[in-house]
Amino acid sequence: MRPSDLIQGTLDLLILKALAAEARHGWAIAKRIQVASGDVLQIKQGSLYPALHRLEAQGLIKSEWRENETGRDAKFYALTKAGRAALEAELTQWERLSAAIRLTLRNA
């Protein structure tokens, strides 16, 4: 599935969720989402980096250059306090929405 097929705004949620456990760099975030979704979601870099920069501009995540597992420098992103709160809020919202959609699809 291409990101544009995702419901608008879901990419941000996925990124925030991918960063919930630990700080990751861009490639690892994409990888994480791909693996976690059982290879269904493949985030294109063309969407990923603008989204990361937007989230950073919004103060939801912060970045830092440090060595990655292969020993090269990579830019690691981590949730800020605000980002963590936003994730909570978005998750609740998402749960409610998807539950509602599921219900509708089953009953309507």
Partner 1 sequence: MARLVDALRFRVRSLVQRGRADVDLDRELREHVERQTEENVARGMTPGEARRAALATFGGVQNVREEARDARGVAVIENLLRDFRYTLRALLREPMLLVAATLSIALGVGGNIAIFSLARAVVFAPPDARDPATLVNARVSHGSHVTYQRWRDLDAGGALERFAGYSIEGEVNWLDGGGGGTAAVSIVPMLVTANFFEVTGTPVARGRPFSATEARAELDPHLAVITDEFWRLRLGGDSAIIGRALVINGEPYTVVGVLPPHLRSVAGFGIAPAVYLPLNRSLGPESRPRNASIVQLVGRLKPGQTLSEARTALDALDRRLARQAGDTLYGGVQEFAPVNTFRTGKEARMIGLFLAVLGFVSLSVLLIACANVAGLLIARGTRRRQEIAVRLAIGGSRPRLIQQLMIEGLWLALIGTAAGVGLSLVFMRVVNSLSLPIPFPIVLNLTADRAVFLCAIGLVALTLVTCALLPALQATRMSLVPALKREEPFYVVRRFSARGVLLTGQVMISTILLVTAILFVRNLIRTQVTSPGFEVSHALVAQIGFVQGASDRGADRPAFLETAVGRVRSLPGVADVAYAASVPLTVYAGSSNGLSARIDGAAQTRHVEFSREIVGPRYFSTMGIRLLGGREFSETDAPGSPAVAIVNEVFARRFLGGKNPIGQRVQFVEDSSDFRVVGVVANSKMRTLGEDERAAVYVPLRQSTKDVRVGFVIARTQTDPTALVAPVRQALGALDKSVAITVEPMASALQFALLPSRIGASVLGTLGMLGLLLAAFGLYALVSYSVSRRIGEIAIRSALGASRGAVLRLVMRDATLHVGVGLALGLGVAALITSPLSAFLVAGLSATDPMSFGGTALVFVLVSLLASWLPARSAMRVSPVVAMRLD
Nearest distance from C-beta of residue 105 to partner 1, angstroms: 32
Decide if residue 26 touches partner 1 (CB under 8 A): yes
> 20-23: which pairs have CB atoms within 8 A and are 24 or more residues apart?
20/79, 20/84, 20/87, 22/78, 23/64, 23/76, 23/77, 23/78
Q: Which of 57, 104, 106, 107 binds partner 1 (CB under 8 A)?
A: 57
Chain length of the chain: 108
- Could you tell me which stretch among 2-10, 11-19, 78-86, 97-105 binds partner 1 (CB under 8 A)? 78-86
Site membership for partner 1, residue 3 (CB under 8 A) = no
